Amino acid sequence: MDSTVDAAVGAAAAGTRPPRGRLPGLDAVRALAVLGMVYMHVSPTGWLSAAPYQDKPAVLGWVEGVVSGRSMSLFVLMAGVSVALMTGASQPLSGGRLSVARKRLAVRAAMLLLISLCVDQLSGGGVSILQFYALWLLMLLPLVRLRPGTLLAAAGAAGAVLPVFSFVVMNHGGTWAISPMRPGAEPPVTGLALLVHPQDWPAALHGLLMGGGFQTPYAVPLLLAGLAIGRLDLRGPAVRRRMAAAGALLVAVSWLVSWFALGPLGAGRALAAMTASADGPMVQPWASVLALPPHQLYGLSVPMAPMMTGVGLLLMAGSLALLERPGPRRVLRPLTAAGSMALTWYAAHQIVIERAAGDPPYAFTLFAAMAVFALAFSPLWLRRIRRGPLEWLVHRAAVLAVPARGTGRGGS
């Protein structure tokens, strides 16, 4: 999400420059994730003009169904990859260099929180994912020394346990103290006002840990998997082939688990009966925890995180291999440039939707205009300035607050 999220940042934490720079394939995946989230937030109901939601064209509905939840999941997976790259990639930092990198990550988290509060203030919307992202950076700090195998094992365990935990809270613990559905769970203030209302900070932290559709419990296995992926030699052809094979296997197994739950285990029929019935509490059947969206919420779906890890592995393996070649790299320069400015475009699109686009519903042309502008403007901006506006701000804050050891300055 950050333009400095690459091997260059890990080396900058050490006060040195990497020999080969960024990996444009990762920027391409970031761009796809951000564009998917823009589409999801626009939720177009017509092509040239907005239509009532019930009249949304089937194609637009299908696209929204594909990107809904999945683009955010890809965003989260790439966050874990980014932290790995910022702490040494396949050669993890240690000693003083790791200390510098960790402190800079903490500064980045603080900056992302401030940016998120500003975005929330300007857009007038709810809590953006950037606040969650800030929390996730801090959560990963103690884990950056773990081996890829350990991280993958932890991701598997978290992916099995946390959706079940969220399922129990959602269906049986609505009044529990940890439940995001209980009265008073959400902080009464948002945006910059939160900074001057410390009495609301515990509620805000609770919202980040449990709110947003169980965003953080769902994110944990993806973050751990991303951190493990970022520790691999992503420039190695053999590694990429194994990534593609593992990704295809994860996607296939996740789909089969969901099919088995919806069919032979009867979750599909039970969910349909629950939806049709207006009597009694709306408690989901236990087998539905094994179903994929749209049959189950992504935060309550056991196979969703493995599925999206597999999708991410496939996309990363393919884009890394493709963008090694000069021709595709030139053709896809707008996409990779937009991906390197993902933080800027994510913040900007929320403000545009809330302050300039008018009231929903929106037309596809709104999404198309924002996407085309980002793809056209990003390479032009990067010709003159190395980083996007918000990426530059976060980077400067990190290197000024935590200078590289032995130089007295902020590094590259």
- Give φ, ψ of 337 to 5 degrees: -65, -45
Q: What is the average pLDDT across 86-111?
A: 96
The more confident residue out of 379 and 21 is 379
Return the pLDDT at 278.
61
With beta carbons less than 8 A apart as the criterion, state whether 24 and 329 touch.
Answer: yes
Token pair recorded at residue 398: 């990190």
pLDDT band for position 280 (cuts 50, 70, 90): low
Residue 406 maps to a domain: no
Cis preceding-peptide flag for 361 (omega within 30 of 0): yes
pLDDT surpasses 60 at 19: no
pLDDT surpasses 90 at 274: no
Token pair recorded at residue 283: 């408690």
Token pair recorded at residue 47: 């092509």
What is the reported pTM?
Answer: 0.92
Return the pLDDT at 123.
85
* Helix, strand and coil percent figures for the chain, each rounded to 5: 70, 0, 30
pLDDT surpasses 80 at 277: no
Residue 161 maps to a domain: yes
pLDDT band for position 386 (cuts 50, 70, 90): very high
Residue 78 maps to a domain: yes
Q: What is the average pLDDT across 147-169?
A: 97
How many angstroms separate the CA atoms of 204 and 46, rounded? 36
Residue 317, domain extent: 7-46+55-401
How many angstroms separate the CA atoms of 122 and 116, rounded? 10
Alpha helices in 263-341 (DSSP H): 267-276, 304-322, 326-331, 333-340
Return the pLDDT at 112.
97
335: CB partners within 8 A, 6+ apart: 27, 28, 31, 32, 375
Return the pLDDT at 245.
98
**Number of domain units in the chain:** 1
Residue appearing with tokens 């515990």 = 202
Residue 410 maps to a domain: no
How many angstroms separate the CA atoms of 116 and 134, rounded? 9
Question: What's the pLDDT tens digit per position in 25-77?
Answer: 999 999 999 999 999 999 999 999 999 999 999 999 999 999 988 999 999 99
In sign, the C-alpha dihedral spanning 316, 317, 321, 327 is negative
User: How far is CA 230 from its chain centroid?
Assistant: 15
pLDDT band for position 275 (cuts 50, 70, 90): confident
With beta carbons less than 8 A apart as the criterion, state whether 317 and 248 touch.
Answer: no
Among the listed residues 285, 137, 132, the one whose alpha carbon sits nearest the alpha carbon of residue 210: 132
pLDDT surpasses 70 at 282: yes
pLDDT surpasses 60 at 376: yes
Provide, rounded to the nearest whole percent, the portion of the chain with pLDDT above 70: 91
Q: Rounded to 10 degrees, what is the CA torsion of 110, 112, 117, 122?
A: 150
Q: What is the average pLDDT across 302-313?
A: 98
Return the pLDDT at 279.
63
**CB-count exposure of residue 35 (10 Å: 0-12, 13-18, 19+):** buried
With beta carbons less than 8 A apart as the criterion, state whether 378 and 385 touch.
Answer: no
Arithmetic mean of pLDDT over the chain: 90
209: CB partners within 8 A, 6+ apart: 135, 216
Return the pLDDT at 8.
39
> 318-343: b or e for each residue (b if 16 or more CB lie within 10 Å)?
bbbbbbeeeebeeebbbbbbbbbbbb
pLDDT band for position 117 (cuts 50, 70, 90): very high
Residue 232 maps to a domain: yes
pLDDT surpasses 80 at 91: yes
pLDDT band for position 410 (cuts 50, 70, 90): very low
DSSP code at position 285: P
Return the pLDDT at 20.
53
Return the pLDDT at 109.
97
With beta carbons less than 8 A apart as the criterion, state whether 226 and 86 touch.
Answer: no
pLDDT band for position 12 (cuts 50, 70, 90): very low
342: CB partners within 8 A, 6+ apart: 1, 2, 3, 30, 31, 33, 34
How many angstroms separate the CA atoms of 193 and 272, rounded? 43
Continuous segment of H or E residues that includes residue 86: helix 70-86
Q: What is the average pLDDT across 197-226?
A: 94
> 114-128: b or e for each residue (b if 16 or more CB lie within 10 Å)?
bbbbbbbeebebebb
How far is it between the farthest Cα atoms of the chain? 69
Among the listed residues 252, 263, 344, the one whose alpha carbon sits nearest the alpha carbon of residue 306: 252
Return the pLDDT at 183.
75
Residue 197 maps to a domain: yes
Residue 157 maps to a domain: yes
Alpha helices in 263-303 (DSSP H): 267-276
Return the pLDDT at 243.
98
How many angstroms separate the CA atoms of 98 and 121, rounded? 35
pLDDT surpasses 70 at 214: yes
Residue 2 maps to a domain: no
Return the pLDDT at 7.
40
